[in-house]
Chain A
Amino acid sequence: MSAKLIKLIISIGIPVIILLLPVSSFGIDGLTIVEQRVIAIFFFAALFWILEPIPIYATSLVIIFLELFMISTKGFKPILTSNDPETFGNLVDYKVIMHTFASPIILLFLGGFFLAMAATKYRLDQNLARVFLKPFGENPKMVMLGIMIITAIFSMFMSNTATTAMMLSILAPVLAVFLPGDKGRIAFTLAIPFAANVGGIGTPIGTPPNAVALKYLVGDSYISFGQWMSFAVPYVVILLFVAWGVLLVFFPIKTDKIKLNIKGSWLKNRKAYIVYATFALTIILWLTDFLHGMNSYIVAMLPVAVFSALDIINKNDLKNISWDVLWLVSGGIALGLGLEGSGLAERLISVIPFDTYSPMVIILLVTVVAMMMANFMSHTATANLLLPLVAALGTSLSSLEAFGGNKMIILVVTVSCSISMALPISTPPNALAFATGGVETKHMAKSGIIVTIIGLLLNYLTMYVLNIIGFF
């Protein structure tokens, strides 16, 4: 029997067993049938995302279908009617579940994708890299720092994968001239994925876990684009320097001179100018919502509208949009909806005596779990699974208030999801760097673990400082 088949049987078997158990066997007072189904779906999601018998975005789509089928107001009637509404539980409006495909968060990401795609198409990314890297000279250490900063900045607005792909191809000719035995080659190869992973934390659109977090940062916990950057960018900068230092210590560079030769020139046509202007305007609008009142979701539609209208992004380009990433997030949002809408989240919090634990222990526990999980599976899937639980915890746990409350715990977990970069399978950028053949797993692991742990400690420190200055 193939490993894939075993995984599939486990991933389907356990949720089915959960579904078939009598409600009473869970030992939770007042647990409804709908809530039981949500538990089954949650286990289904967890197993499928962890074991990955099918692509992770496909799991998201199946989750949405299962919710529509089993717990929505317009689902499969024979299993949705009951004589006793009390024990059956609350159904979720099917429209709300379907809205996850076009939730403001998804559209914010779509806007980001449009910006990134236009930037690549009109070579804005490569030209910016060329210009920004010039001041870093030819000293290998400085060049590496420059590359990391540029990579981080780009990955704030572009996908971490595309940024890594671009920077690795820029670096390829440089990597080729390293002498055998010069560990600098490893340092450079790892610098790019590390910087891309870290950089993604910098903006709400930097990486999909941030999108998942935005779902729970509503109402009192709302956080604007600018506010996000105001705490995340300093964090990114510090962690970037840490990663730079770690890599230089582990993999000292022997070469004394590095010459980057990035070809290209600025495009000087009407469409290119429109791309430059729209790019700048969108970022400015994102950062100045307090002036004009448009939130980041609405601003995100600006590049979508402009680039489509002016044929800068055409029909063929639409095919290159990573719909799988968007749908992966949709599935996560839908999973959260199920937990909240059915009332399961509240019930779990009320049943499990979290209040007896110290809030410090709880924070430590969830962040370490997030970090561990994210090392072995998709960051987004980790956020999809953990954030709904954490969000429920945050709203119900009064003792957390002293540390920053709901907003704090969501941010601290989200960042914990994004800093895991110890293994090639941890993130797509890591996988790409590993695939170049220049690094081995042990190289990535020893430097990645250090950066991750320092990142986690720095994460706590950031939250501590933010709490003191009254950010939350």
Chain B
Amino acid sequence: MSAEINVTGEVVTAYLSGELDHHTAKQMRETIDSAVELNMPSLLVLDFSRVSFMDSSGIGLVMGRYRNLQKTGAALHISGTSPNIYKVMKLAGIERLAKLERGNEND
């Protein structure tokens, strides 16, 4: 499990990979939070294309980042969600907090 950070202008993109559960979420959110703190982006993109599994710990991670971004008014985008991850996101109503995009199922 890892999070690779890319900064382009005012956009911070975190490319998450591996399995996202309660065990792995902590390290991932620390990586994301320090990148956000350092770069103060106007948009944070969480890319799930390389995440092979996610349970509700992923929802906790998204909701926690959303709360942090509220302080600076930055937007949050979720991209690259597989059918399973999309299903968990929809169950939590994440599309009300962030722009939610499906991944390419042919990837």
Q: Do A and B belong to a common assembly?
A: no
Interface residues of A (CB under 8 A from B): none
Interface residues of B (CB under 8 A from A): none
